[in-house]
Amino acid sequence: MRDHDAETAMTIPLTPAGGPEPAAEPSFYEAIGGQATFVALVDRFYEGVVTDPLLRPIYPEAETDPTMPGARERLTMFLEQYWGGPKTYGQRRGHPRLRVRHAIFPVSPAARDAWLGHMRAAVDSLGLAPLHAEALWDYLERAAHSLVNTHDGGQAPMVGELLPDRMD
């Protein structure tokens, strides 16, 4: 056999001749309902935040517009992109840099816990399949813990100031 014939003989088509391509696995974003699900999650979450005396001060735009459309849009875009949806967040805002973007706000353990309480209620309100709810919750919980930057009652670090346990 010539080399070309040997290569051809060893090639196995992935689909039957003329058959459809195999269906791609849906992204997490698609599997849980896409944009409508993330909008519902964020809307439910902010319903709690706007009435929370500990969290509302962390959102300066709440003073001018208690519905916080900017915060809602940013969180929705971020979550959509993270979970395999549109890349709008990155196109508009660049890399998420969660710790840097939140460093100016005092995120204490109490604020983290309040945030998680509202987010838990929001996740639960979606009625997701248990594996999807667990995956989403796991990420949100880890993200919230990573943003703590002060003790309860403390001030956020000054811009550019490193916490001693975060120095590289």
The whole-number pLDDT of residue 85 equals 97
| Domain assignment present for 7 | no
| Domain assignment present for 10 | no
Q: Are 101 and 70 in contact (CB under 8 A)?
A: no
| Domain assignment present for 165 | no
CATH number at residue 38: 1.10.490.10
Domain of residue 49: give its range.
Answer: 29-155
Number of domains in the chain: 1
pTM over 0.85: no
Tell the residue number behind the tokens 């900017």, with chain if given.
70
| Domain assignment present for 17 | no
The whole-number pLDDT of residue 3 equals 52
| Domain assignment present for 35 | yes
The whole-number pLDDT of residue 157 equals 57
The whole-number pLDDT of residue 164 equals 43
In angstroms, rounded to a whole number, what is the distance separating the alpha carbons of residues 91 and 106?
Answer: 28
What is the SS3 assignment for 152?
Answer: coil
Q: What is the pLDDT along the chain (168 residues), one digit of tens a residue?
A: 555 554 444 554 444 555 556 567 889 999 999 999 999 999 999 999 999 999 998 888 888 998 999 999 999 999 999 999 999 999 999 888 888 888 888 889 999 999 999 999 999 999 999 999 999 999 999 999 999 988 876 665 554 444 444 333
| Domain assignment present for 11 | no
145 in a known ligand binding site: yes
| Domain assignment present for 150 | yes
Q: ∠ CA(40), CA(103), CA(117), 5° rounding?
A: 35
DSSP letter, residue 23: P
| Domain assignment present for 42 | yes
In angstroms, rounded to a whole number, what is the distance separating the alpha carbons of residues 52 and 114?
Answer: 8
